[in-house]
Every structure is written in C-alpha cells, then in structure tokens.
Amino acid sequence: MVARVRARRRVPEHIAIMVDYNQALTVAEALARGRALDREAVVWLEEPIRHDDYAGCATLVRELSTPIQIGENFSESTAMATALAAGAADYVMPDMERIGGVAGWISFQSFYGRPAHRATAEVSIYVSPLHRRRGVGRGLLAEAICRAPSFGVTTLLGFIFAHNEPSLRLFEGFGFQRWARLPRVANLDGVERDLDILGLRVPDIPSAAF
C-alpha cells in the first residue's frame, strides 16, 4: 500500500490521495499501516476497521497523524452522535439516506453585493418538516450567530414572510428586531404576502438568547 501511495510523486501536488480499507483491518494492523502512511501526506484513512468499533477508531485518531474518516455506514443520526462523542473520527462522511435525511441547513449570503455592505449578511434557515419543533432551527441560528464574526460579519439580516410567525419568534428570541416591512412584495400560491426584514448587530446579542 505504501508503495502505491508513493505514486503521488508521479502526479501533480494538487491531486489529493485518500486510502479506503473498507473495514478490512484490525486495530493493530491499522496502527501499523497508518504509521507508515503518516509519512505519505495522505488526506485520510477511510474506515480502516469495523465501522462501529468507535473505541478502536478513537485509538487510531489519538495515535495517528493521518486523519481517520468514517460515516458512510452510520445507521440513523444517533450512530453519528455516538461516534462523535467517542472521538472516533477526524472527518465524517455520512450517507444522508441512512441517517434519516438532511434535518436542516443554514446559509449566509451577500446582502447587497457591494464593498460598503461587506460586513452585512442575510441569514437563511430551512428545517425539514420531519425535524421541526426539535430545536434544529434554534441550534442552526445560534451557530450562525457564533460564527458570524469569523466571517467578518457584524450585522445579520433575516428576510421572513410576515405571516411566518414561528420563524419570526425564532429570530426575535435571539435578539433580532423588525427593522422594516415590504408590503405585498411576494406572491405565494396566488396570495400577496408582506416581507419583514429583521436585523441583529452581532456584538449586541443578548446573553439570554443562548
């Protein structure tokens, strides 16, 4: 395996090399091979041992400098949570179908697209109907607020339909204030809807929100 990895010397440096053992090794074998591969600038070792041997995977994480990647065999999100709690991986690659699908997502996007507004971003949240009322939206918004300064963002905006009371309550719970209303700017299923613009200065987050 090491001889094969040394083939990277024949390919451009920007081409990444990962190694997948398909759960074929024991912990001892994985340690021996991993230590050899530590010298080869491999991006990660994927599932070198049984996918559900989280204690063994945690040993590899501690002992090897090459990152350990697991996850495609997680069954339900609880398996992923257990693996993360055990420190069993440096990277995870979950199969979305096997762990129950995407619970939700959050995104930042440019507010106006001009340099003067670089520190202002629109934050958007989506939570799957199957995962609503479970704290997913609250967790996502909290993470967005915490990470905003690392992106150079000092002002967050939320564009929320005025009839979407659950989302309005969520944002207001984190200190967002209603800064403006754009009347009847959207048409949803033949109904004209107002759009509320909520804003938060990131340094002004109330501590009670967390």
The confidence band for 41, taking pLDDT boundaries of 50, 70 and 90, is confident
Delineate the domains of the chain, giving CATH numbers in brackets. Answer: 2-92 (3.20.20.120), 104-209 (3.40.630.30)
Q: Does residue 195 surpass a pLDDT of 60?
A: yes
Cβ partners under 8 Å of residue 85, min gap 6: none
**Max alpha carbon distance in the chain (Å)?**
67
Helix 54-63 with 76-85: angle, nearest 10 deg: 40
**Mean pLDDT across the stretch 137-159?**
94
Q: Which residues are 182's β-sheet partners?
A: 195
Average pLDDT of the chain to the nearest whole number: 89
**Strand ranges for the chain from DSSP E:** 19-20, 45-46, 68-70, 91-92, 104-110, 120-127, 155-161, 177-188, 191-201
